[in-house]
Each structure stands twice: as C-alpha cells, then as structure tokens.
C-alpha cells in the first residue's frame, strides 16, 4: 500500500511569514549557539577555520589546543617548514594543502598587513585558501563585522530543505539568503542552522518526527531515505 506524500500547507518558502518564525524557534531551541571552534584572537580563528575544511570542529579543537601554543603569530606560520607544519596539523586531513595555505597566509599577513589579520572582506579574500565562508566566519566572530552569511554544508542543506534556495554553490546560496534573512540575523542564524543540522536535520536521516519546525518546512518527512529492497542471494546447489 502506497503512503501519500505529506503536503506542505505552511507559509510560502522564503517569505517573512516562514523565515521569521523559523529563526525564532531556532533561537528558542539553541540559545547558546555560537562558533564551535576554539580561539582567543583573529589569527587563531583564521587558522582553525582553514583547518576545519573536510574536518569536524571537534577534531580541529583537539589539534589547535597544542598548535596555538606553538604558533602564536603570523610569522610563526610563515617561517615554519612545510614538513613540520604538515605533521602538526596532520589529523585534520588534507594537511599538505592546508599547511601550504597557512604558510602563505602567514607570510602575506606579515608582508602586507604588519602581522595583523586584516578585517575587511576584500583583504581577507587575498589570503591563500580563504574564500567567503572563512572570511565571513572571521569577520563575524572575531571582529563583530557582518558583511555576509556563513554557508557551510549544514547551512546549505537546511536552507534548501526550507526551500529558501535551490542553489548548490555556496556563494549563490549566500546571495539568496542575504535577500530574505534580516541582516541582524545573518551571523546568529548561521550558528543556529549548524546546530540544528547536527542535532536534528541530518543529511542522511533527518529526525523529522522530533523536529518542531515541520509545519514550516516543505521538506518535512520527505527527505527520508528510501527503503532499499534487498534481493535474496542465489544459492548454489550442493555438490553431489
């Protein structure tokens, strides 16, 4: 017997009537939502964010606990050998490319910005390995400057499920979010979406039955993985 697919009857996706209640409910659910990378200054956050590519924040925090004791300035990253830095960040994965970018970033910060992490989008984007996501993380969380919307895998997945966008490219997703989300919510909402993505709205098995946003989500109960019917294995006749 086929089960009818749920029909969404809530507010128009992307409208203030849908967006604002979602933000309010996420704030209620995750009042402590914040950047989950450990840092004490802009340089540490810049490094941690670069290391977080294809790596969990938890693992990054384990690595940076010792890393930040050893490397305390941009000059430290600029002068360390490629091989030594690779070993220090190896658990975060893709360590060769990350080490290369961190060394180049450290050198540029020393040469162009007098050893201080720049605090404009334009300048941050000149650093090796830094795209808009990393720049937005650093600007918003280290400097309190909100120029854009942080779009990671969790954010992208959730906003597509809310039907706020159909885009896959993070830059295009960001552009569309900036049109429908009030600017005062840009930074907080990115944290809230990440927390909800980790706790409830999983990529493979979203826990829609536990979610309090189902009445506002066009994808509720539709993003479940389809059951796979396994074919019985063919058995060979016993040898006579």
Residue 74, Cβ density class (10 Å: 0-12 exposed, 13-18 middle, ≥19 buried): buried
Q: Taking 80 as the threshold, does the pLDDT of residue 67 lie above it?
A: yes
Q: Taking 70 as the threshold, does the pLDDT of residue 2 lie above it?
A: no
What one-character DSSP code corresponds to residue 183? G
Same domain as 47, residue 124: yes
Domain presence at residue 221? no
Q: Taking 60 as the threshold, does the pLDDT of residue 173 lie above it?
A: yes
Q: Taking 80 as the threshold, does the pLDDT of residue 238 lie above it?
A: no
* Phi, then psi, of 189 in degrees rounded to 5: -65, -35
Last residue of a domain, one of 97, 120, 143: 143
Q: Which of 40-54, 163-177, 224-238 has the lowest mean pLDDT?
A: 224-238
Domain presence at residue 206? yes
Domain presence at residue 2? no
Instruction: Name which residue leads in pLDDT, 143 or 223.
Output: 143
d(CA 118, CA 147): 14
Tell the residue number behind the tokens 């050998």, with chain if given: 81
d(CA 27, CA 193): 10
Closest CA relative to residue 212, chosen from 227, 199, 228, 225: 199
Q: Summarize the confidence of residues 160-172 as an average pLDDT.
A: 97
Report the alpha-carbon angle 65-70-74, nearest 5.
105
CA distance to 16, 46, 103, per residue, from 120 (Å): 30, 13, 20
Identify the pLDDT of residue 224: 55
What CATH number did the domain enclosing 128 receive?
Answer: 1.10.340.30
Beta strands in the chain (DSSP E): none
Q: Which domain holds residue 96?
A: 42-143
Q: How far is CA 131 from the centre of its chain?
A: 13
Domain presence at residue 94? yes
The single residue of 88, 98, 133, 185 carrying the catalytic annotation is 133
Domain presence at residue 13? no
d(CA 86, CA 93): 10
Identify the pLDDT of residue 6: 80
Q: Summarize the confidence of residues 143-157 as an average pLDDT.
A: 97
Cα atoms found within 13 Å of the Cα of residue 123, Cβ hemisphere only? 14
Question: What is the tally of helices (H) and strands (E) in the chain?
Answer: 11, 0
pLDDT-above-90 percentage for the chain = 89
Identify the pLDDT of residue 222: 84
pLDDT interval class at 5 (50, 70, 90) = confident
Identify the pLDDT of residue 235: 39
CA distance to 68, 110, 172, 216, per residue, from 44 (Å): 7, 15, 28, 38
Taking only the tens place, the pLDDT of each residue in 105-124 is 999 999 999 999 999 999 99
d(CA 78, CA 101): 10
Same domain as 186, residue 125: no
Identify the pLDDT of residue 234: 44
Identify the pLDDT of residue 240: 29
What CATH number did the domain enclosing 164 receive?
Answer: 1.10.1670.10
Tell the residue number behind the tokens 């389809």, with chain if given: 226
Q: Summarize the confidence of residues 136-162 as an average pLDDT.
A: 97
Tell the residue number behind the tokens 């040898």, with chain if given: 239
Domain presence at residue 1? no
Domain presence at residue 232? no
The yes-or-no answer on residue 133 being catalytic is yes
Same domain as 139, residue 49: yes
By the 8 A CB rule, do 74 and 109 touch? yes
The single residue of 38, 76, 123, 152 carrying the catalytic annotation is 152
Q: Taking 80 as the threshold, does the pLDDT of residue 239 lie above it?
A: no
Q: Summarize the confidence of residues 152-166 as an average pLDDT.
A: 97
Taking only the tens place, the pLDDT of each residue in 208-231 is 999 999 999 999 988 655 444 444
Mean pLDDT of the chain: 93
pLDDT interval class at 179 (50, 70, 90) = very high
CA distance to 3, 157, 217, 228, 229, per residue, from 74 (Å): 59, 34, 44, 52, 55
pLDDT interval class at 193 (50, 70, 90) = very high
């Amino acid at each position: 017997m086929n089960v009818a697919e749920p029909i969404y009857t809530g507010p128009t996706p992307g409208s203030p009537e849908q967006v604002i209640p979602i933000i309010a409910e996420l704030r209620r659910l995750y009042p402590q939502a914040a950047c989950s990378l450990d840092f004490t200054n802009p340089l540490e956050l810049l490094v941690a964010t670069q290391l977080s590519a294809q790596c969990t924040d938890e693992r990054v925090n384990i690595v940076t606990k010792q890393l930040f004791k050893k490397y305390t300035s941009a000059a430290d990253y600029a002068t360390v050998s490629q091989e030594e830095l690779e070993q220090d960040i190896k658990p975060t994965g893709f360590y060769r490319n990350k080490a290369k970018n961190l060394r180049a970033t450290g050198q540029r910060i020393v040469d162009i910005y007098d050893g201080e992490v720049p605090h404009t989008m334009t300048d941050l984007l000149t650093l090796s390995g830094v795209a808009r996501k990393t720049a937005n993380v650093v600007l918003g969380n280290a400097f309190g400057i909100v120029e854009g919307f942080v779009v990671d895998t969790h954010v992208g997945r959730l906003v597509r499920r809310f039907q706020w966008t159909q885009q896959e490219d993070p830059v295009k997703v960001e552009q569309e979010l900036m049109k429908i989300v009030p600017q005062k919510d840009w930074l907080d909402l990115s944290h809230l979406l990440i927390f909800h993505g980790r706790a409830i709205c999983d990529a493979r098995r979203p826990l829609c039955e536990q979610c309090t946003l189902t009445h506002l989500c066009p994808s509720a109960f539709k993003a479940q993985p389809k059951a796979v019917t396994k074919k019985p294995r063919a058995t060979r006749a016993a040898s006579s």
